[in-house]
Chain A
Amino acid sequence: EAQVTQNPRYLITVTGKKLTVTCSQNMNHEYMSWYRQDPGLGLRQIYYSMNVEVTDKGDVPEGYKVSRKEKRNFPLILESPSPNQTSLYFCASSSNRDRSNQPQHFGDGTRLSIL
């Protein structure tokens, strides 16, 4: 089954404790992306990756890091989480990065609470 898998689905942690949210897709997609969703703001892009070893900042990259060492994986790293990073996070992937008609496939989301 084609899917995007995020882990963990839920996490409560404390300020300053490094955490990683993993994302894996089995569709051989070149393009992967991370979003955060906050009430009234919709989804905002954090980072995206056009292919292996190619990443770029989205609209709200501050406080986050990513890496793309393998095509299928795109982890999101919070080196020193703060309460303003409490949010619902989505990983997404799509193929044909140069075309605008490919819908992004989303993971089920990760709900992070930073105390």
Chain B
Amino acid sequence: AQKITQTQPGMFVQEKEAVTLDCTYDTSDQSYGLFWYKQPSSGEMIFLIYQGSYDEQNATEGRYSLNFQKARKSANLVISASQLGDSAMYFCAMRGTSGSARQLTFGSGTQLTVLP
């Protein structure tokens, strides 16, 4: 079985500063994908960034980057130059490639608040 752990229920960051949201995972699959989603107060789930287990470089998408440390089984999301619109719930998720691991497993989420 695969498991995602997000240990920060809530985080605060000052506008224009960078923030790191933690995510650790556990899986027996050799090949897997890690995802981050954003859920604003309006409720929709927005895909942010993806990291493959065999990707040698950390993924980046604009102000989002994923700090992938495979040996430590961590996939932290880094948001640079925070904006007020970044205030939202953030979910880390993973998807394996074998059997039931192909389902997407989510962490419990981190509520990020950006302060003006």
Question: A residues within 8 A CB of B37?
Answer: 106
Question: A residues within 8 A CB of B32?
Answer: 100
Instruction: Tell me the B70-115 residues at the A interface (CB within 8 Å).
Output: 91, 93, 95-97, 100, 102-109
Question: B residues within 8 A CB of A12?
Answer: none
- Give the size of the chain A interface in residues (CB under 8 angstroms): 27
The answer, among B47, B97, B103, B106, for a CB contact under 8 Å with A99, is: B97
Q: Is the CB of B96 within 8 A of A100?
A: yes
Q: Is the CB of B44 within 8 A of A40?
A: no
Q: Is the CB of B35 within 8 A of A98?
A: no
Q: Smallest Cβ distance from A29 to chain B, in angstroms?
A: 13
A106 CA to B102 CA, complexed, in Å: 17
Question: A residues within 8 A CB of B103?
Answer: 33, 45, 48, 58
Q: Smallest Cβ distance from A72 to chain B, in angstroms?
A: 20
Q: Smallest Cβ distance from B37 to chain A, in angstroms?
A: 8
A68 within 8 A of B: no
Q: Is the CB of B97 within 8 A of A92?
A: no
The 8 A CB mask of B26-68 against A (1 = contact, 0 = none) is: 0000011101010000011101001011000000000000000
A45 CA to B44 CA, complexed, in Å: 16
Question: B residues within 8 A CB of A84?
Answer: none
A97 within 8 A of B: yes
In the complex formed, the residue of A with least CB distance to B94 is A100
Instruction: Please list the residues of chain A having a beta carbon within 8 angstroms of any beta carbon in chain B.
Output: 33, 35, 40-45, 48, 56, 58, 88, 90, 92, 97-106, 108-109, 111
Instruction: Please list the residues of chain B having a beta carbon within 8 angstroms of any beta carbon in chain A.
Output: 4, 6, 9, 31-33, 35, 37, 43-45, 47, 50, 52-53, 91, 93, 95-97, 100, 102-109
